[in-house]
Chains A and B, each alone.
Chain A
Amino acid sequence: MNREDFLMCKDALIYLDNGATTFKPKQVINKVVDYYTKYTANCHRGDYDISQKVDFEYESTREVVRKFINADSREEIIFTSGTTESLNMIIFSFMRHYLKKGDEVLITKAEHASNVLPWFELEKEMGIVVKFIPLTRDYKVTLDNVKAVTTNKTKVISLAYITNVIGDVRPIKEISEFAHQNNILLCVDGAQSVPHMKTDVLRDDIDFLAFSAHKMLGPTGVGILYAKKKFLEVMPPFKYGGGMNIKFESTKELEYKEVPLRFEAGTQNIAGVLGLKAAIEYIESIGIEKIREHEIKLREYLIKRLKEVSNVTVYNEASESGIVIFNLDKIFAEDTANYLNHYHICVRAGNHCTKMIKDDLGVKNTCRISLYLYNTFEEIDKLIDVLKNSKNIYDIIL
């Protein structure tokens, strides 16, 4: 749908790597170009008209994001450089002070590196214990499995809403209810979910949420950290510098701004934030439910058609998102991706920054197809034709 808005949607190119990043519609590109050509100025610093315009655009993006994820207050929206920085802020600023030695954090082996490595570092640094919630045979998380590893030392559950390899949608609302009944905080990596399904932090009672603009039609280099205000009020800043302080004296007396500006030191990625605003407005003009519906139809069609290809193994048939991982029998994933590239089909090969899932999946590397609104049934037909002809793969790639 809406392919005419995307300059990258050229006929010859079939882009199936939306889990990595997405194309940008002209509305987003125009917004960024307008900032650079019509009202370039820093924000929160100037008294002139174009600076006021930037302040308005920047701060109104906070409101647009708030509404998009149904947060209580715009002060709960912090702009960061991406999901990775958002998660690092949560873990190294808030959790470092909140947790004590011996406290347990639950994650899974299917999490992205950004929701694993900061926890591992904190474990080394302060002696928290990172534990893995076991996955089902379909690599999913169930509430029972969460309960099975929860102890009276469990203080945080940190999960992707949708994982970037398996593409399963986690029962976050159920987990949240259980967590809060047991005085456990819930941190959610929304990088693969916020762009693809309705996010409602109040409905799901999420304590912390991280996501990126570039995976939802926005510019690269911008992310969002949502946290309940009561947590932001006690969270130390992650970075210190200009824009986040009220005063500092030679006597070392200092005072920082209120939430959320306290967390946005230095000149922010203003063009990126404004582009994010245009991206959300664009998604809302179509309707996130409609986008999800389209992706699910595409997925069902893709799975059905992949079954026609005798040498294909799909590893995540039971998932409910636009992510499908597969391999061709006896062919290394990278060779498959190179072969598809020959036909201008872009897929991702590898472990997708999720290096621990191999323990459960039994295979280290796969090809990942990740769909979005502008993908079509015709593109899937073309992919299937190419896969069906893969007997000659080595004639093409060697």
Chain B
Amino acid sequence: MDSNIKRELMIENFENPFHKESKNGKEFIKANTYNASCIDNIDLYVRIKDGKIYDAYFDGEACAITISATSLMVKKIIGMTLQEARNFITEYYHMVNFENYDKTKLGNLLIYEDIAKQPSRKKCALLPVQALEKSLEICEEGGKNDK
């Protein structure tokens, strides 16, 4: 993908992030992730219903890469089954780690395909999926899964 297009998409999602709002209702699973070495800190709010991600939001303070990646991820995961979400997480990790991955699973998040070339920014791009992983764990541990 052209680097200008990638950059524009990141800036657009940083300046006008999708579903950036705290959701403190009981129906949402809240998962926080932060970077120990810097100041990115986000909360992901996921509502799981009938085995699917019914809705998702996020909030927090973070750099352009973390905010844009979280915004794009939130858009992407709404409507996914839990298995699809797990597959998405796996493919995203593969992409960021320069391993073989299925491009069809990642949509616009492909714009972070080269992020690990800047090692200090890799952790910024991983925060949203780490939050999603945590949310799924909470759900599996008997958390909220509205029937």
Interface residue ranges, A against B (CB under 8 Å): 330, 332-335, 338, 349-351, 364-365, 394-395, 397-398
Contact = CB atoms under 8 A, between A and B. Distances in A.
25 contacts: A330-B15, A332-B61, A332-B67, A333-B39, A334-B38, A334-B40, A334-B62, A334-B63, A335-B64, A338-B63, A349-B38, A349-B39, A351-B39, A364-B39, A365-B39, A365-B61, A394-B10, A394-B11, A394-B64, A397-B64, A398-B6, A398-B10, A398-B11, A398-B64, A398-B65
Contacts of B121: 338
A356 to B, nearest CB: 15
A395 B10 CA distance: 11
Closest 8 CB pairs of A and B: A350-B39, A334-B63, A398-B7, A335-B63, A332-B63, A398-B10, A365-B39, A335-B64
B39 A338 contact: no
Contacts of A330: 15
Contacts of B65: 398
Given A332-B64, A349-B38, A395-B7, 19 more contacts: A332-B62, A332-B63, A332-B67, A334-B39, A334-B40, A334-B62, A335-B63, A338-B120, A338-B121, A350-B39, A351-B39, A364-B39, A364-B61, A365-B39, A365-B61, A394-B7, A394-B64, A398-B10, A398-B64
Contacts of A350: 38-39
Nearest to B124: A334
B38 to A, nearest CB: 5
Contacts of A397: 64
Nearest to A333: B39
Highest count of chain B CB atoms <10 Å: which of A333, A351, A394: A394
Interface string B10-21: 110001000000
A265 B64 CA distance: 48
Interface of B: 6-7, 10-11, 15, 38-40, 61-65, 67, 120-121
Tell which of B7, B64, B65 has the most Cβ of chain A within 10 Å: B64
B108 to A, nearest CB: 14
Contacts of A333: 39
Contacts of B10: 394, 398
A208 B71 CA distance: 49
A353 to B, nearest CB: 11
A88 to B, nearest CB: 21
Contacts of A338: 63, 120-121
A395 to B, nearest CB: 7
Contacts of B63: 332, 334-335, 338
Nearest to B3: A398
B139 to A, nearest CB: 30
A86 B71 CA distance: 44
A364 B61 CA distance: 9
A381 to B, nearest CB: 27
B4 to A, nearest CB: 9
Contacts of B15: 330
A113 to B, nearest CB: 14
Nearest to A397: B64
A351 B41 CA distance: 12
A345 to B, nearest CB: 15
A308 B39 CA distance: 28
Contacts of B120: 338
User: Of A338, A364, A398, which is in contact with the most chain B CB atoms at under 10 Å from its CB?
Assistant: A398
Looking at A330, A333, A334, A397, the one whose CB has the most chain B CB atoms below 10 A away is A334
Nearest to A394: B11
Contacts of A335: 63-64
